[in-house]
Structure 1
Amino acid sequence: MDTKTAMKEIRQGRISPLYLCYGTEKYQINEFIGLLEKQVVDEEQRDFAMAVFDLAETPIETVIEEAETLPFLVTRKLIVVRDASLFTAGKDSGKVEHKLESLTAYMTNPAEYSVIVFVVHGEKLDERKKIVKAIKASGTVLSFMPLGGGELVQWSVKEAEKRGCSMSREVAEALIAASGVQMSALAVELDKLCLYAGKGGVIDEGAINQLVARSTEQNVFAMVESIANLKLEQALDIFYELLKQREEPIKIAALIARQFRIMLQVKELGRQSYSQQQMASQLGLHPYAVKIAGEQARRFETAKLRQALSELAQLDYQMKSGGIDKVLGLELFLLKLGA
């Protein structure tokens, strides 16, 4: 079952007694738990209707004991179990020993008055483990992975609408370029932008430039984007702004090299007919970052990318060995690249 279907069923009152949520997108997982909490827990009786455990500190038997205990003053309770690494590969490094047979036995006949949500912050489950097979058979397993490029833009537009304002897809892309691809950070920026725009207001790029603070990584990304679009003056403006913020030129050069390396890798994988999602998995990147890197890479020949990386490696050595002034060396590189 996918997350949209699961959330739809929860809103309709069809709630599973067991959920296993895994993936790297913590914001979506917390949003899902928030929906369950809204449906299961009465805010006035929250202390009686909700319990949170961490398996790094608490044995699984304690969780099962809580689930099997009849609720007090409420009809149903929600139990959130974090750090559920017993569903992933590798040995559990925690000091707590878990008796998995208690969980296995519970799964065969879960209490109708309890809802347990296991949270795993990892990309994969260990499909070889009996406990994973057991929860797949008796519960609902949901994957929360980063959204694709188009999906993230669409999500940003819809989140703005939920907050009572609007923005175009182009502005949403500008927001992602400025803030990054983490949904939690985007949500914070959207709160700020919608408060600024007001109810029924429209968010534009001017508001993003004025209110959203770019990280060094996002500034370097914008600088490379400007070079790719042959906007050398704009790229240099970003570079000088980074220097005003006392960013180390060696760090800036390293981040530029990282972006060019990603562009080259995406270009090579594209030749091998990899999909955007496959590239993201292979490179350990967000799908949106792969999408933008692919667009940038199309503006450079492969030989040009390799040459830029070679020159950046040489520049790195010269800057660290004192062979060239760091600011001057990076400035000359940008001028040559832009030319």
Structure 2
Amino acid sequence: MDYKTAMKHIGKGQFKPVYIAYGAESYLIQELIARLTDKLIEPEHKAFAVSRYDLTETPVDAVIEEAETLPFMVPSKLVVATNALFLTGAKESGKVEHSLERLADYLKAPTDFSIIVFTVEADKLDERKKIVKALKEADALVPCAMLSADELTGWVNQEAEKAGFSFGPGVAEQLILYTGTSLQALVKEVEKCALYVGQGGTLQAADLEQLVTRSIEQNIFLLIEHIVQVKLDQAFTMLSELIRRKEEPIKIVMLIARQFRIMFQVKDLMQQGYSQQQIASQLGLHPYGVKVAAGQANKFELKRLADILQQLADLDYRMKSGKIDKVLGLEMFLLRLAS
């Protein structure tokens, strides 16, 4: 089942005896566990009703044994087992031996007083394995993949709605640009915005500028966005601010080169017919980053992007060899880029 369906069913009190929460988005995995805990366990029972195991240290037999043991002083219990690497194609250390037959047997006759959640931060499970096939047939698999660009924007707006406020036009997208795509980081920023604007308020772009502290990576991202949009004043203001904060010019060049390399790769793959989702998977990037890079790359021909990457390589060499003043070199590069 997909993540949204699983969360909806849990919200209605419709539980599966076993869940396999897997994927790159660890925040969603933790949200699934939190939702199960809230719906299944009374707050005063959590100390007795929730057990946690690390499968790199504990065999799966112990997890099944825990699930089959009658709960003590509570009506039901939740057993969380992390690092279920035996479900993937990853090579295990061999320190712990897991009896997968025991797990397969449990799937056929699970207890009615326990729920087991296995978690693993892997994009894919090894569907050649019998146990994975059995779990799939039991509809126990819950992928927790990175959200698409549109899903991420929708998710941020939903979090704001839960917190009792709303974002002005384009402000949710701006928050993602400033904060990055980590759901954990975004949640913290949404909480900060909620405190600032108050219940029923609307957060505007000017408010966001005061609230969110951008990392150097996000500043470089916005620096390039200003150049792409031919906003030279903002680009040079941002560069001056980075220098004032004593950011190393060579590091700035490296980060600019990284973003232009992504733009080159995205444009090249799009011209070959790949979708943005496929490109994200191919390059190991978040879909939102691919969407923004694609928009930036539209302003350049592929050959122009290759030329810019060469200019950055030359600038890096001249800076490191002392053939040019670092700040002057950066400013001249921005002027050539804008022209």
Aligned position for 2:29? 29
Aligned position for 1:44? 44
Moved more, 101-110 or 211-220: 101-110
* CA 1:334–1:32: 2 relative to 1, 3 Å: same
Aligned position for 1:244? 244
Supply the AA of the counterpart residue of 1:9: H
Query: Hey, what's the Cα distance between the residues in 2 that align with 1:251 and 1:114?
Result: 52
* SS state at 1:78 partner: strand
* SS state at 1:56 partner: coil
Instruction: Tell me how many residue pairs correspond in the alignment.
Output: 339
Report the identity percentage.
53
Native 8 Å contact 2:168 2:205 kept in 1: no
Query: Hey, what's the Cα distance between the residues in 2 that align with 1:245 and 1:104?
Result: 57
Query: Hey, what's the Cα distance between the residues in 1 that align with 2:150 and 2:165?
Result: 20
What is the CA deviation profile of residues 23-47 of structure 1, one whole-angstrom value per residue up to 9, with x for unaligned ones?
1111111111111111111111112
Aligned position for 1:143? 143
Aligned position for 1:58? 58
Query: Hey, what's the Cα distance between the residues in 1 that align with 2:105 and 2:57?
Result: 22
What is the CA deviation profile of residues 264-284 of structure 1, one whole-angstrom value per residue up to 9, with x for unaligned ones?
111111112211110100111
**1:24-173, aligned counterparts within 5 Å?**
24-93=24-93, 95-173=95-173
Native 8 Å contact 1:157 1:168 kept in 2: no
Aligned position for 2:10? 10
* CA 1:186–1:101: 2 relative to 1, 3 Å: same
Native 8 Å contact 1:160 1:194 kept in 2: yes
Supply the AA of the counterpart residue of 2:129: K
Aligned position for 1:211? 211
* SS state at 2:170 partner: helix
What is the CA deviation profile of residues 220-268 of structure 1, one whole-angstrom value per residue up to 9, with x for unaligned ones?
0000000000011211111111112221111110110111111111111
Moved more, 271-280 or 215-224: 271-280
**1:270-289, aligned counterparts within 5 Å?**
270-289=270-289
* SS state at 1:292 partner: helix
What is the CA deviation profile of residues 118-138 of structure 1, one whole-angstrom value per residue up to 9, with x for unaligned ones?
111111111112221121123
Deviation at 1:94, TM superposition (A): 5.7
Moved more, 70-79 or 98-107: 98-107
Query: Hey, what's the Cα distance between the residues in 2 that align with 1:54 and 1:115?
Result: 16
Query: Hey, what's the Cα distance between the residues in 1 that align with 2:247 and 2:109?
Result: 58
Ranges of 4+ aligned residues in structure 1 off by more than 3 Å? none
Moved more, 230-239 or 182-191: 230-239
Aligned position for 1:233? 233
* SS state at 2:167 partner: coil
* SS state at 1:243 partner: helix
Query: Hey, what's the Cα distance between the residues in 1 that align with 2:169 and 2:53?
Result: 40
Q: Which runs of 5+ in 1 are unaligned?
A: none
Query: Hey, what's the Cα distance between the residues in 1 that align with 2:207 and 2:84?
Result: 41
What is the CA deviation profile of residues 291-310 of structure 1, one whole-angstrom value per residue up to 9, with x for unaligned ones?
00011011112221111001
Native 8 Å contact 1:23 1:120 kept in 2: yes
Deviation at 1:102, TM superposition (A): 2.0
Deviation at 1:169, TM superposition (A): 4.6
Deviation at 1:179, TM superposition (A): 0.5
* SS state at 2:79 partner: strand
Supply the AA of the counterpart residue of 1:207: D
Aligned position for 2:311? 311
What is the CA deviation profile of residues 182-210 of structure 1, one whole-angstrom value per residue up to 9, with x for unaligned ones?
11100000000110101111111112110
* SS state at 1:116 partner: strand
* CA 1:37–1:94: 2 relative to 1, 3 Å: farther
Moved more, 85-94 or 71-80: 85-94
Deviation at 1:90, TM superposition (A): 2.4
Supply the AA of the counterpart residue of 2:280: A
Query: Hey, what's the Cα distance between the residues in 1 that align with 2:206 and 2:93?
Result: 49
Query: Hey, what's the Cα distance between the residues in 1 that align with 2:165 and 2:75?
Result: 38
Deviation at 1:69, TM superposition (A): 0.2
Native 8 Å contact 1:165 1:198 kept in 2: yes
Query: Hey, what's the Cα distance between the residues in 2 that align with 1:263 and 1:238?
Result: 21
* SS state at 2:111 partner: coil
* SS state at 2:53 partner: strand
CA RMSD of aligned residues (A): 1.2
Aligned position for 1:325? 325
Deviation at 1:328, TM superposition (A): 1.5
Deviation at 1:20, TM superposition (A): 0.3
Query: Hey, what's the Cα distance between the residues in 2 that align with 1:68 and 1:40?
Result: 17
Query: Hey, what's the Cα distance between the residues in 2 that align with 1:155 and 1:196?
Result: 20
